[in-house]
Amino acid sequence: MSPEPRMVEVRKNVLKQNDVIARALRERFRNEGILVVSLVSSPGSGKTTFLEKTLTLLRPHFQVAALVGDLATENDAQRLSRSGAPVKQITTGTLCHLEASMIQKALDGWEVGKLDFLFVENVGNLVCPSSYDLGEDLRLVLLSVTEGEDKPLKYPTIFNSADVAVITKMDLAAAVDFNEPTLDQNIQAVRPRMQVLKLSAKTGEGMHEFLDYLQKLQRRRLQTAYVRLA
């Protein structure tokens, strides 16, 4: 052994393995013309209710499916199945987030090419999911009006990893003295020009605008897929 240590340069991304799988998934989704939307939020923000409503409203017109991540239980998958859409639960055990390889594995045996929309509900956690690309086209960060307007300032990283913010449980806004301008200001502070949608899955308020937005993205996706194949 030489007495002096020597430095060697490596320069390798620690999450390379995840990123490689995520890239392959994204390519596959693009080629097959599916729009993949993932949902991140803290536990209890209304992800499952929102997703159940979304699946129910889309299903008469589109082929939709969902993957749902949780530490334990199949409860969410059972709830989402009521929409009639195919749903698969990913139980992560002690893992606090989904990784791209779990999505890949969960899709085994599904005819992905027949789908128009695939939704991926991440484990309820505003920290860990931010590091992992899942190959999705659109990442929604959900935040309910009951959670406090300063949440974006406390979790800027997850807001930075997401594309659109969805404010849920708007039907409770008055009851909890929800301060809409303050929340808007805080979201724009951590992610300037972020698109924000406000809705209530319970009353249906704002759902139409959200579904319109998804359909527009899906149409654009089909056009780009068409161009790619031509």
Alpha-carbon gap, residue 32 to 112, rounded angstroms: 8
Contact between 191 and another protein per CB under 8 A: yes
Residues composing the chain: 230
**Of residues 20, 106, 153, 225, which one binds another protein by CB under 8 A?**
153
Q: How far is the CB of 119 from another protein (least distance, A)?
A: 22
Q: Which one, 63 or 161, has the nearer CB to another protein?
A: 161
Phi/psi of residue 154, each to 5°?
Answer: -80, -30
Smallest CA-to-CA distance from 37 within 114, 137, 162 is with 137
Only segment of 27-35, 39-47, 191-199, 211-219 that touches another protein (CB under 8 A): 191-199
Binding to another protein in span 130-149, by CB under 8 A: 130-131
**Of residues 65, 87, 190, 201, which one binds another protein by CB under 8 A?**
190
Q: How far is the CB of 10 from another protein (least distance, A)?
A: 5
Contact between 24 and another protein per CB under 8 A: no
CB contact at 8 A, 205 and 170: yes
Contact between 103 and another protein per CB under 8 A: no
Residue 96, Ramachandran bin (φ over 0: left; ψ between -120 and 50: alpha; else beta): alpha
CA distances in angstroms from 210 to 80, 102, 132, listed in the order given: 18, 27, 25
Contact between 160 and another protein per CB under 8 A: yes
Alpha-carbon gap, residue 54 to 182, rounded angstroms: 27
Where does this chain bind another protein (CB under 8 A)? 1-2, 4-15, 17, 95-97, 127-128, 130-131, 153, 156-158, 160-161, 188-194
